Amino acid sequence: MALRRIRAKAQAQDSENENYFISMTDIMVGMTFMFIIMLMFFAIKLERIAAQGAEVIKSFTTTEEIRAKILKEIKDDMARKGFMVQIYPDKGVLRLPESILFDKGKANLLSRGKESIGVLGQSLYNNLLCYTSYVPDRTARSCPEALHSVEAVLIEGHTDSDGSDFANWNLSIQRSFTAYQFMIESNPALAGLANKNNEAILSISGYGSQRPVEPNNTEDNKRNNRRVDIRIIMIPPKSSGMRM
């Protein structure tokens, strides 16, 4: 009897040990399965983030290409009217030298300056219209749905380093305002161009001698620094967002 009890107890102990090992095995298999699922989940998320990042980079590249095309169209429009200007697509800038617009130290537009600003204003309107929120004329011209848009067009005045800082700041602001004022007078529809926030895209700024393109150490360099820049700022379409 005693031997039978010992055997029964041993069998019960073996059964408990077997159940314990089976439970531990099930837990380990379950944990491994969950780990694999988590790895797959994060791999899919990382792949999605990488794709969205590539999409954003492509959007910015396309925006630069569109802006470069716009600048070239404006430059060509002005060249056909006899006005030779420079463009810098990487900066989004079209540059008007002082010699076209003003006498040295003055803020009154020359007759040729008025003509050039008039041509520039019309070209800006024609080439930027489809990238703005000016609905009536966009509809009339059957503009395609533009994913990229113009945020702002800055008319920037610049001087050389001759004279006081105050005088140069004042002159640069007066010149940018004079150019803006005549541009709107000769092309009133420009005032209606707005960005996606319904803000007018045209604005002015004056930098005095603070942003030279050449050192102010020769007369030729100073002449190059006396200028008006038209800077076009565009924004790409909004990204769908990187949600985790």
| 40 falls within a domain | no
pLDDT of residue 143: 74
Q: Where are the beta strands (DSSP E) in 98-182?
A: 149-158
pLDDT at 166 over 90: yes
Report the CATH number that the domain containing residue 122 is assigned in CATH: 3.30.1330.60
The parent domain of residue 67 ranges over: 61-235
Read off the pLDDT band of 28 (50, 70, 90): low
Distances (CA, A) of 16 to 19, 28, 30, 166, 173: 5, 18, 21, 94, 91
Nearest of 128, 112, 228 to residue 187 by alpha carbon: 128
Domain assignment of residue 52, yes or no: no
Task: Please give the mean pLDDT across all residues of the chain.
Answer: 82
Q: Assess if residue 163 is contained within a domain.
A: yes
CA distance 153 to 201: 5
List of E strands, the chain: 86-88, 93-97, 149-158, 202-206, 227-235
90 CB-near residues (< 8 Å, 6+ apart): 64
Reply yes or no on whether the pLDDT at 95 is more than 60: yes
**Domain count within the chain:** 1
Q: What is the structure's pLDDT at 202?
A: 96
pLDDT band at 59 (very low <50, low <70, confident <90, very high): very low
Q: Flag whether 114 is in a domain.
A: yes
* pLDDT greater than 50 at residue 242: no
Residue 22 has pLDDT above 60, yes or no: no
Map residue 102 onto helix, strand or coil.
coil
**How much is the pLDDT for 48?**
60
Strands (E), 22-92: 86-88
State whether the Cα torsion 99-105-110-115 is positive or negative: positive
pLDDT at 123 over 80: yes
For residues 28-35, average pLDDT? 66
Short-list 101, 144, 128, CA closest to 232: 128
Domain membership of residue 123 (yes or no) is: yes
Report yes or no on 188 lying in a domain: yes
Tens of pLDDT, residues 63-84: 888 999 999 999 999 999 999 9
For residue 124, tell me if it sits in a domain: yes
CA–CA distance, 208 with 218 (Å, rounded to integer): 18
Least confident of 27-31, 34-38, 54-58, 207-211: 54-58
**Amino acid 55: pLDDT:** 46
- Kindly tell me if the per-residue pLDDT of 57 is higher than 50: no
Q: Is residue 106 part of a domain?
A: yes
What does the pLDDT read at residue 203? 96
